[in-house]
Amino acid sequence: MLFFRPHMAKNVQVTKNNNESSANVIRRFTKRMQGAGIVRKVRNQRYFARIKSRNVQKEARLKKLAKKEAYEQQYKLGKITDNRR
């Protein structure tokens, strides 16, 4: 059975020229890594966040809306001042 893997590894190779410093070789290597998209992929995979279910998302949204309405009600009554920028 074969699996499709869109995240397969890519090889990046840099060879040192005759009159080239090692700092320049490292610089070229990092540029090629960024150009190949490897750095972005690694940073995206650094932390895994599960996708929340629809019910959890809905409850969080309702809770946020209720909190916003309570804030606006307190603001209308003059109990709090608006310090938002």
Distance CA 30, CA 40 (A): 12
Domain ranges of the chain: 10-49, 51-85
Comparing CA positions, the residue from 15, 8, 4 lying closest to residue 36 is 8
Mean pLDDT per 10-residue run, the chain (85 residues)?
A: 57 89 93 89 84 96 97 92 73
List pLDDT tens digits, range 47-59: 888 899 999 999 9
Q: Is the pTM of this model over 0.85?
A: no
Query: Residue 77: in which H helix or E strand, if any?
Result: helix 54-77
